[in-house]
Amino acid sequence: MKKKIVFILPHLNGGGAERVTLNYLRSIDRDKFNIILIVFDATSDLLHLVPEDIEFINLATIKVSKSFFKLTAILKKLKPNYVFTSHYTVAFLLSISKKLLPKFQHLARIPGSPKSELEHKYYSNFKRTLFGYGLRSAQINIAQTNEMLEEAINIFKLKRNNCTVLSNPLDTNLIDASIENSKQVFDKNKYNIVASGRLHSVKGYDILIRAFKLICDSHRNIHLHILGSDKGMRDQLVKLVALLSLEDKITFYGFVKNPYPYYNQCDLFVLSSIHEGFPNALLENFYLNTPLVSTRCAKIVENIIKEGENGYLCEVNNIDSLYKSIRNAMRLERNKISTSSFKNSELNNLIN
């Protein structure tokens, strides 16, 4: 008899935690598991990535705080063997809900770098206490890197023997299918640079735009393409572009459902973030052999980028450092790299 695994997301917005969770979901062995996805709000950004052969439940409660009773009732009916969460608030909600339910294994993925979140005051001390309680109630806490694991153990007071490290999975089949027979998205006569991620201060787009201005002073036939939904910075960034007279050199696309043709066809991918947990877009571009530039926004980027071979690293929040790295990387061409290390997921091994 097949076991049941339930994945819970607050929404299907185009965020990293949502994409990673859907990658995990698609990788689960259908012969061994019945897979159910529960969302509180079926937003459309990533709805196309939900497989048709799984059970999809939209609670239509929108907010996590209003989802307790519906979620508890659904889980009581489903009687899952495993429940996977990828958000602190959902993990906390589940820690309360599970007191009323038949026993199941809770797998709580830690969505980012707890140290960075603390330094940038992403949540209050009170919320950190609640989030820690939610994580400690889980049978398994999943960190994306060894560094994040140590941070989570120290900050959320987790038990080491309840923690494991699983690198974010790449759905390479999806990426390959998404670029197959794709149309040309750029003017091939130009040098095309892509940046991707929500328009938020943490992404460092203002630094990128100012560094790009310096590049434009010596390279005329160049264009910057920024993919990402507006999270409060679009107007500010558009004004900066106008101030620097770059209107014909920079394009804002908003949220892009299929970013892979942009990654596959660009000449350079740039990650200008102030901090990151595990930069999935950088990993996807690495898989596609794209030359890379990244700030030292996360320890993992130093394992992805080999300077002078497939890209260059630069300092965080430093216009001149980013400019120099982009200038150096423009000499690179796409290199063939081994993709044998990319596994769709190790989650199957964890729950078998």
User: What is the number of structural domains in the chain?
Assistant: 2
pLDDT for 81: 97
**Nearest-angstrom CA–CA distance, 296 and 253:** 26
Let me know if residue 347 belongs to a domain: no
Residues 223 and 246 in one domain: yes
Q: Specify the higher pLDDT residue, 351 or 170.
A: 170
Residues 106 and 221 in one domain: no
pLDDT above 90 coverage of the chain, percent: 82
> Which of the 8 DSSP states describes residue 230?
B
**Nearest-angstrom CA–CA distance, 281 and 211:** 20
Cβ(132)–Cβ(152) under 8 Å? no
Residues 297 and 239 in one domain: yes
Residues 28 and 121 in one domain: yes
* Strand arrangement, sheet containing 33-39: 55-58, 33-39, 3-9, 82-85, 105-109, 140-143, 163-165
pLDDT for 250: 98
Question: Which strand (E) or helix (H) includes residue 58?
Answer: strand 55-58
Give the number of other Cβ atoms within 10 Å of residue 83's Cβ.
27
pLDDT (average), residues 170-192: 94
Give the number of other Cβ atoms within 10 Å of residue 19's Cβ.
20
CATH number for 188: 3.40.50.2000
Cβ(291)–Cβ(310) under 8 Å? yes
Residues 155 and 290 in one domain: no
Cβ(148)–Cβ(114) under 8 Å? yes
Residues 232 and 192 in one domain: yes
Q: pLDDT-derived band of residue 343, with 50, 70 and 90 as boundaries?
A: low
Nearest to 274 by CA among 185, 222, 204, 213: 204
Stated pTM of the model: 0.91
Residues 156 and 98 in one domain: yes
pLDDT (average), residues 53-81: 94
Residues 130 and 198 in one domain: no
Residues 180 and 324 in one domain: yes
- 339 pLDDT more than 70: no
Cβ(134)–Cβ(113) under 8 Å? no
Residues 194 and 309 in one domain: yes
Domain that holds residue 279: 174-329
**Nearest-angstrom CA–CA distance, 23 and 168:** 9
**Nearest-angstrom CA–CA distance, 56 and 50:** 8
Let me know if residue 338 belongs to a domain: no
Let me know if residue 339 belongs to a domain: no
pLDDT for 277: 85
Lowest mean pLDDT across 54-63, 95-104, 239-248, 341-350: 341-350
Let me know if residue 335 belongs to a domain: no
Residues 162 and 15 in one domain: yes
DSSP letter string, 201-253: GGG-HHHHHHHHHHHHTT--SEEEEEE--BSS-HHHHHHHHHHTT-TTTEEEE
- 330 pLDDT more than 60: yes
Strand partners, 85: 8, 108
Among the candidates 101, 135, 166, a domain finishes at 166
pLDDT (average), residues 249-265: 97
Residues 62 and 184 in one domain: no
Let me know if residue 349 belongs to a domain: no
Let me know if residue 88 belongs to a domain: yes
